[in-house]
Chains A and B, each alone.
Chain A
Amino acid sequence: AQTVTQSQPEMSVQEAETVTLSCTYDTSESDYYLFWYKQPPSRQMILVIRQEAYKQQNATENRFSVNFQKAAKSFSLKISDSQLGDAAMYFCAYRSVSFGNEKLTFGTGTRLTIIP
């Protein structure tokens, strides 16, 4: 079974600064998907960024980028130019590419606070 670990329960960063959230995972599969989801106080999970394991290039979405280290099974999220609206819980998630397997395995989350 796959597991996802987020070792930082809480992080804080000054507005406009850069912060990195850590995520490690364990799997025996060679191909899979990794995601970062954001959950603000509204509770709705919002996709931040995704990475296909077969792609060596790290995904980037505007101010958000990942450092995907497949051999180390590490998938960290970097947020640049942090904004007040980035304050939320951030969850790292894993999904198998096996057809029909929709299960997302989530980490325990990191609560990110933005300091004005």
Chain B
Amino acid sequence: KAGVTQTPRYLIKTRGQQVTLSCSPISGHRSVSWYQQTPGQGLQFLFEYFSETQRNKGNFPGRFSGRQFSNSRSEMNVSTLELGDSALYLCASRNRAVNTEAFFGQGTRLTVV
């Protein structure tokens, strides 16, 4: 069974641009969560999608948004990039009916210059 797949693995963007990151969950997992990991703030919850609906949201500005498709794949978008958005973005998926734990992808390393 394939794991959680995040694309791309690395991104370099310029301040003011926007970026879209993709996450394909494990087959059968309908819950997809996103986290931002930085040296200063650690791991912070961005949001979670289930059945194409955002169910939970962390404390991030509106520049951070996401969506989920009918096949459970999810994308997150960051608009008007700032230098402070440079981070590792991790996606996690879970089958709520089966698993207690979430399974993580390898992340997308975003660098804003």
Residues of A that sit less than 8 Å from B by CB: 33, 35, 37, 42-47, 50, 52, 91, 100-109
Contact = CB atoms under 8 A, between A and B. Distances in A.
A47 B105 CA distance: 12
Interface in B56-94: 56, 58, 88, 90, 92, 94
Contact of B88 (A43, A47, A52, A101): A43
A43 B106 contact: yes
B25 interface: no
A107 B56 CA distance: 20
A41 to B, nearest CB: 11
B45 A104 contact: yes
Contacts of A46: 104
A104 B93 CA distance: 12
Contact of A108 (B35, B42, B58, B100): B42
Contacts of B50: 100, 102
B113 interface: no
Contacts of A50: 100-101
Interface string B102-113: 111111010000
A37 B90 CA distance: 13
The secondary structure that dominates the A interface is: loop
Given A44-B104, A45-B90, A50-B101, A104 B35 contact: yes
B31 A102 contact: yes
Contacts of B103: 47
B43 interface: yes
A35 B101 contact: yes
B33 A102 contact: yes
Which of A46, A52, A102 counts the most B-chain CB atoms under 10 A from its CB? A102
Contacts of A47: 101, 103
A91 B50 CA distance: 25
30 contacts: A33-B101, A35-B101, A37-B104, A43-B106, A43-B109, A44-B105, A45-B90, A45-B92, A46-B104, A47-B103, A50-B100, A50-B101, A52-B100, A91-B43, A100-B55, A101-B56, A102-B50, A102-B55, A102-B102, A103-B45, A103-B48, A104-B33, A104-B35, A104-B43, A104-B45, A104-B102, A106-B43, A107-B42, A108-B42, A109-B42
